[in-house]
Amino acid sequence: MKILLPDSIADILNTFEKNGFEAYVVGGCVRDSLLGREIHDWDVTTSATTEEMCRCFAEERLLATGEKHGTMTLIKDGMPVEITTFRTEGVYSDGRHPDGVIFSRNLTDDLSRRDFTVNAMAYNPTKGLIDCFGGQKDCQDGIIRCVGEAAARFTEDALRILRAFRFMSKLRTAEGLGFRIEAETVHAAADCAERIGMLSAERIREELEGIITAERAGETLALLKETGILQEIPGLEETAATGREWACFPRELPVRMALLFWDLPAEQVKRRMGLLRFKNSDIKSVCGLLENSRAAIRSDEDLLMLAGRLEAEGALVLLQMRSLLGEEEAQSAEKRLHNLLAEGRCFKTGQLAVSGNDMIQLGLKGREIGCMLDRLLKEVMNGAPNERAALLKKAERYFLEFIQKENK
């Protein structure tokens, strides 16, 4: 068993060994190497304490990013690499954070505190793969299984429940088989699901984002629902979620969240997403899609107005969603909107050949300005040419009519 390490990482492991310490790459990077996945970061675990790390890398940039937890970040060839001292599991009296950190000189201690067998392997070129819990076999078979007794591990830290489902949603074996969660682990997850409410909204949201934007979101949500875990996730109580062809839909977060909440009123979704501390821009995108889930899409003007409300990209995504959800009309509407946009048709006042300033020059004030631009936009959307001279003339005429009406 050989893992090809980047030179910078091999150098780090070497430096530790030359100084008499043990060091390994560990966790996600080992798992992903076995699965043939691209590796986004290499984490290193070592017998050296943070002070000893400083001595080993005296000449290099070592940042104290989590010193209390034994973590330092080494900037190696411009890339940050997290290095953490071997740790054992502390006591979790609050079900979300260990009370204290206990360091160790023993790799097995460090591996036993990790959540799943596939995440509990370490590797270095001299010792090869260190796999105390059958992680390699579980990688081959596509199984998520707790290290140790599942119920105890989920009681210590309920985030692991959501992590299990996130890994189910995103991992595939080297042969391309989707991962499943082993039976005892699923049962324990269901039994401990109430504890999810004890976690911070941010941590829940991060895992939820991972679950719904991954490849197997559909199957994963179905299992979350079937086991009653979904309803323990704040904001997701009574969510339909399942029974859709998730794999057909784009993987962007707003699309996936809109799909999750498709039948709910936007106001309610805003509240639910707020509860989970989603970014305001994401909440806005999702609500925009939901508010337009039944908007008219018959005429060119309907479609351009939709683009005005959601921006061109949002409108096209909405039409794609509606078409995937079985609305026949939406498929041709998507093509038509594409063509209208390619022709350079206007869908917002900012694209008009006249501006608010021009309206001020004509003598308009306050709300009159926006109303006039909207009126001109409507005409341009209906086929009137977007030409400055013509639009100014129209504006002048409408304004005069308006003043005359006011004076009657």
> Where on the chain is the footprint of ligand ATP (CB under 6 A)?
27-28, 43, 114-115, 119-120, 157, 159-160
> Minimum Å distance from CB 201 to ligand ATP?
16
Cα–Cα distance, 210 to 212 (Å, whole number): 6
Asked if 364 contacts 399 with a C-beta cutoff of 8 angstroms, the reply is yes
Decide if residue 35 touches Mg ion (CB under 5 A).
no
Contact 130, 3 (CB under 8 A): no
Q: 307 is written with which tokens?
A: 């683009």
If contact means CB under 5 to 8 A according to the sort of partner, which of Mg ion, ligand ATP, none does residue 145 touch? none
Rounded Cα–Cα distance for residues 289 and 74 (Å): 43
Which residue's CB is nearer to ligand ATP, number 119 or number 220? 119
With contacts defined by CB under 5 A, name the span among 20-28, 360-368, 371-379, 382-390 that binds Mg ion: 20-28
Interaction of residue 73 with Mg ion, rule CB under 5 A: no
Residue 361 is encoded by which pair of tokens? Answer: 């020059």
What is the C-alpha end-to-end distance of the chain, expressed in Å?
A: 91
Residue 270 interacts with which of Mg ion, ligand ATP, none, CB < 5 to 8 Å by class: none
Q: Could you tell which of Mg ion, ligand ATP, none binds residue 358, using a CB distance below 5 to 8 A set by kind? A: none
**Integer Rg of the chain from CA:** 28
Q: Is 28 a binder of Mg ion (CB under 5 A)?
A: yes
Nearer to ligand ATP, 157 or 358 (CB): 157
- Output the six-digit token pair for 151: 């119920």
Tokens of 68: 């209390």
| Residue 314 near which of ligand ATP, Mg ion, none (CB within 5-8 Å, type-dependent) | none
Strand partners of residue 27: none
Specify the stretch interacting with Mg ion by CB under 5 A; choose among 22-30, 175-183, 269-277, 371-379.
22-30
Helix (H) or strand (E) holding 389: helix 388-407
250 is in the binding site of which of ligand ATP, Mg ion, none (Cβ under 5 to 8 A by kind)? none
Q: Which does 135 bind (CB under 5 to 8 A by kind): ligand ATP, Mg ion, none?
A: none
SS3 at position 350: helix
Encoded one letter per residue, x for contact with Mg ion by CB under 5 A and - for no contact, window 260-279 reads --------------------
Element housing 122 (H / E): strand 121-124
- Compute the least distance from the CB of residue 172 to Mg ion, in Å: 17
By beta-carbon proximity to ligand ATP, the closer residue of 103 and 402 is: 103
Is 30:123 a contact under the CB 8 Å cutoff? yes
